Chain A
Amino acid sequence: MVAIAESRLPIASEDDIVASRQRAREVARQLGFGAVDQSRIATAVSELTRNVVRYATDGRGEVTIREVSRTDRPTGLEIVVADDGPGIRDLDQAMTDGFTSGAGMGMGLPGTRRLMDEMEVDSVLGRGTVVTVRKWRR
């Protein structure tokens, strides 16, 4: 994959949820994604950044939004949400639909997965989590 241009935003407070999703939506629009995909992407970013604000220990992290390309898919958007929070205790459970109980890292992951084309979660207990999602333009 070849990365082309990128935006990096801090996640430190609730305000950053809106800022990140707005930015993601704008980049998606510029890359030619349709209105529905823009909505999917922005919503996915909202879910992921909220996870960080709500559940990462000091609610800090960073979101990176970048254009990506592959030989079979010329235009795509990749978003990486990273934090140094407590990590996800049970990733399998977090990825199971209906996992909505209380506070805990990983809320909203199944929904986000459905909105995006690809998702990778890298989580180390006590160290942090990195969630990478991608959407390809049709």
Chain B
Amino acid sequence: MSNQDRMTDIIDQQRQTISELQTPVIQVWDRILALPIVGSLDTARTADMNEALLQRIVDTGSEIVILDITAVPIVDTSVAKHLLETISAARLLGAEVFLVGLSTRTAITLVHLGVELAGVVTRTTMAKGLELAFARLGLEVVARRGSKASAALPLDEDGA
């Protein structure tokens, strides 16, 4: 292997690591994956993200993916198209994708751009997405019985 090949390999590996750090796929529950995306989405990044996500779906047997785009600054036609592809590909693996963090303003922009998010389930926050995920899987979060437990703290907008 030449030095140049070695360098290319290192660069590829680093690119992969950066990619993984920027789009961590988190298993938040049995059968539920969360993917909070930070930063702008371009073709190359979405491609890496897709592959990583799909492989995690296979490895974990997950049925629901909560894709959080709150921290994606620009959602234009191209980004929307990539997201739709991610959603469609995940569907082929039997997983349903909830898109969360889509601001009203972005939604209106997309409508004006003629992008149809038909059939895409959306929620405003990760917390709401998780709530829906539990419901879909027939799960319920219940307060513990017993006096020691404090009343369940309501989730605020940040999910904290």
Contacts and interface: CB of A to CB of B under 8 A. Distances in A.
Contacts of A138: 44
Contacts of B51: 34, 36
Contacts of A36: 47, 51
Interface in B24-75: 44, 47, 51
Interface residues of B, number: 3
Interface residues of A, number: 3
Nearest to B44: A138
B89 to A, nearest CB: 10
Nearest to A35: B51
A138 B16 CA distance: 12
A138 B44 CA distance: 9
A36 B44 CA distance: 13
Contacts of B44: 138
Interface in A17-50: 34, 36
A34 B47 CA distance: 12
A49 to B, nearest CB: 24
B115 to A, nearest CB: 16
B44 to A, nearest CB: 7
Nearest to B51: A36
Nearest to A36: B51
Nearest to B12: A138
A98 to B, nearest CB: 16
A36 B52 CA distance: 12
Interface in A88-138: 138
A138 B9 CA distance: 11
B84 to A, nearest CB: 14
A-B complex: 4 closest residue pairs judged by Cβ atoms: A36-B51, A138-B44, A36-B47, A34-B51
Interface of A: 34, 36, 138
4 contacts: A34-B51, A36-B47, A36-B51, A138-B44
